[in-house]
Amino acid sequence: MGPARGGGSGDAMSARSGARTSAGTTRLGAGARPVTPPGPVPDADRRHLEMLARATRLLETPLDLAATAWQTAELVVAELADWCLVEVTGSDQRRLCVLAHRDPALLPTAELLRRPEHLTALLKLMTVLPAVTPVDLAGAGHDLPPALGDAWCALTVPLTSAGRPVGSMILLRAADRPSHADDVQLAVELGHRAGAAVEKARLHADLQETTRVLQASLLPPVLPRVPGLTVSAQFRSGTSGSDIGGDYYDVFRTGPERWWVVLGDVCGKGAAAAALSAAVRHSLHAIAPDTDDPAVVLRRLNDVLLGEDWDGRFTTLLLLTFADRGRRQGPLSVRMASGGHPAPMLRAADGTVRPVPCPGTLVGAVRELSVATVRLDLEPGDTLVLYTDGVTDARDPSGVELGECTLARLLAGHRGEDADLARALAQDVLRHADGELRDDLALLTLTR
């Protein structure tokens, strides 16, 4: 029978439970005494090697702090203990605690131990017991949650990485079957491997946060208010990696009346792709003010990009422009041009959805750019949706892409959500992909 879980968390809320805890220092009762571990048991070497191999396989995979803590606790109770409490500290200094138990019959007790005061008692025990020394807790029941009693042998093991502590764990076994010497050695080795996995998860979390901050700096923090239009936008980064993506969007004005809207995608990921997406946005601001023709702007942008060495990178994008002439009613005349980008979707006021053909070639790839300006009248109630291919390429767990037809159906189903339409569509894509995006996605919607 496999291990069962109780759970708790420290200063950060655990994915499995919601108690908050704080650690302090306490003293063991007079009955607590060190235990001399029994000698080796037959076949222990083979059994321990198998467990370490299993630990290596499991702890190599997760890049999530909570998952690492849970896998560590469950490895321990599968072989070495009846209960295991693991405490780790994230790179943000918030503490996470998880509690696993060996016997599913102990689930009611585990539910009690989720309470803050009981987790606190176990955490205090960690600070008092000597490290890697089995201790008989009989006679020291006041140091343990009442739900556990005191008939336990305890072992505290630090989690270390490169000699630095990154957490700790406490193992509880029934007092009538204390840990063997080789069990203690195995627990220490597991603490080293778990500590390395914790540090790896912390570094990954740091990298993800850095990526998030840098990615946010490439997008406008707030969209401007555009007279006569409701505008919404959404960006979601891919979940398969931590590189900065190349998706971008912007809404800006180049005069009292002239507005521009752009959404695009740079090929590749990482710092070079981010630099190119930033260069595209800044270049558009510089080369758009003296024209009202988006095709002219794309040709100029193509020349700018080809004048620099972008290591073969290019961009696809949709560029729209319109004039605010003080009319809040009636159609809005929009001119747009595409640099090899997926065609936008138009949802008419009557709910019908269709793509708006807008041919063009990649920008920054070849000297002779094939591009033309397309005119479109946005009638009252119409919505135009611009998106990157991360939307339609999103796959469900069986590998089926979302595709344009499904996107059109989803768009038709979101009536009356104009201000949050981009967010609603992004959530639809995430549901289709079961939360796992292979690529970044960006959406921008304009509703008349």
pLDDT value at position 139? 63
Q: Residue 143 has what DSSP assignment?
A: G
| Per-residue pLDDT at 274 | 86
Torsion sign across C-alpha atoms 201, 196, 181, 135: negative
* Average pLDDT, rounded, for the chain: 83
pLDDT attached to residue 29: 42
Provide the pLDDT for residue 116.
81
270: alpha, beta or left, given left = phi > 0 and alpha = psi -120 to 50? left
Cα gap 419→234, rounded to integer Å: 11
pLDDT tens-digit map of 139-152: 655 456 777 776 78
Question: What is the model's pTM?
Answer: 0.63
Higher pLDDT pick, 13 / 238 = 238
* pLDDT of 399: 94
The side-by-side arrangement of strands in the sheet containing 152-161 is 4-5, 95-101, 83-89, 164-174, 152-161, 135-136, 33-34
Return the pLDDT at 107. Answer: 77
The pLDDT score that the predictor gives to residue 221 is 84
pLDDT attached to residue 45: 67
Predicted pLDDT at 417: 78
Nearest one of 216, 232, 235 to 274, comparing CA atoms: 216
Q: What is the pLDDT of residue 10?
A: 41
pLDDT given at position 154 = 87
DSSP, residue by residue, 355-384? E----B--BTS-SS--B--EEEEE-TT-EE
Query: Does residue 168 register a pLDDT over 90?
Result: yes
Q: For residue range 214-252, what is the model confidence (pLDDT) as tens digits?
A: 777 778 888 999 998 999 999 998 766 656 778 999 999
Higher pLDDT, 18 or 402: 402
pLDDT at 186 over 60: yes
Q: Is 172 strand, coil or helix?
A: strand
165 — phi, psi (to 5°)?
A: -70, 135
pLDDT for the residue numbered 217 = 73
Please state which of the ranges 42-51, 77-86, 266-275, 324-333 shows the lowest mean pLDDT.
42-51
Residue 30 confidence (pLDDT): 42
Q: Above 50 in pLDDT, residue 355?
A: yes
Specify the pLDDT at position 5: 52
Domains of the chain in start order, with CATH, are 4-212 (3.30.450.40), 218-447 (3.60.40.10)
**Residue 95 DSSP symbol:** E
Q: Which of 113-117, 206-210, 258-262 has the lowest mean pLDDT?
A: 206-210
d(Cα 20, Cα 11) in Å, to the nearest integer? 6
Per-residue pLDDT band for 396 (boundaries 50, 70, 90) equals very high
- Determine the average pLDDT of the residues in 297-319: 94
What average pLDDT does the segment 289-302 reach? 97
Collapsing DSSP to helix, strand or coil, 304 comes out as: helix
Say which residue, 21 or 324, is predicted with more confidence.
324
At residue 14 the predicted structure's pLDDT band, cuts being 50, 70 and 90, is very low
CA dist 176 and 106 (Å) reads 18
